[in-house]
Amino acid sequence: MSTLKVGLVGWGAIGRVVGTALSERNVPGAELTCIVDNRPLGEAAPAPQVPFEDALDRCDLIVEAAGQGAVREWGERVLTSGTDLLIASTGALTDPELAERLLSASPGRVYFTGGAVGGLDLLQAVRSLGPLDDVRLTTTKLPGTLEQPWMDQELLTRLRAARGPVEVMAGTARDVPAKFPRSTNVAASVALAVGDLDAVRVRVVADPGAGHTRHVVEASGAHGSYRFEVAHLPDPDNPATSQVVPYAVLRSLHALAGRTGQIL
């Protein structure tokens, strides 16, 4: 098999782990070809730092690790150039027009990583049995990771003065990720697995005692009921994301590079 040439967009908490693993050849069958970032990386970069357009000419696959804005700005362009795209910031897909463009674009193929939540493969399989009647996600994080520019002073005061869990927002997987672009990609991932953004009810909870970021997925239908709960340590450099996320990206890269003997 030929080596998968990978370009990485974003050199933050996720990108550094993914890029370092690729540069050290820890993903057999894949190599880091270049990095795209809006900051000069200098000697910190283990591969050439190039403009986005140059990356499309060098790579078979672009890995997005830069946030929802990068997906909106460049996602469709990647796919129409013939380059494949692996998206970490699935929350961008809550924009229905963007989702339609990405899912219909070609000849490149679009992939999504599960990120910080499990059970998505089972939820996708369950869809073949029939619709799920009730799907709920509760995400609990430290208050400081959930503060957003749109919040009024009353809500900010509640967050900062919290001594226990405080519900910050409740809505659907279509609404919530747009309000928390760095913190609720899990909601969009669950909705992608279920196949319906509006079917997934989401609660975002701030808890000053949350040493771990917690996601609880509950789903039920005529064919069964399902519950998944995960608790992750936040990334020390970016507490809005979980430490496990870059390793979920690497797992996806292992699959795309053709490693055998794994669960898909």
If one counts every other C-beta atom within 10 angstroms of the C-beta of residue 127, the result is: 15
| Torsion angle of the four alpha carbons 151, 156, 158, 163, in this order, in degrees rounded to the nearest 10 | 130
Token pair for residue 72? 């909106």
* Annotation says 254 is catalytic: no
Residue of 215, 223, 232, 254 with catalytic role: 215
Classified as helix, coil or strand, 249 is: helix
Are 116 and 213 within 8 A, CB to CB?
yes
Token pair for residue 255? 């699959």
Strands 61-64 and 4-9: parallel
The CA distances from residue 124 to 72, 121, 168, 210, in Å, are 25, 5, 29, 30
Positions marked catalytic: 215
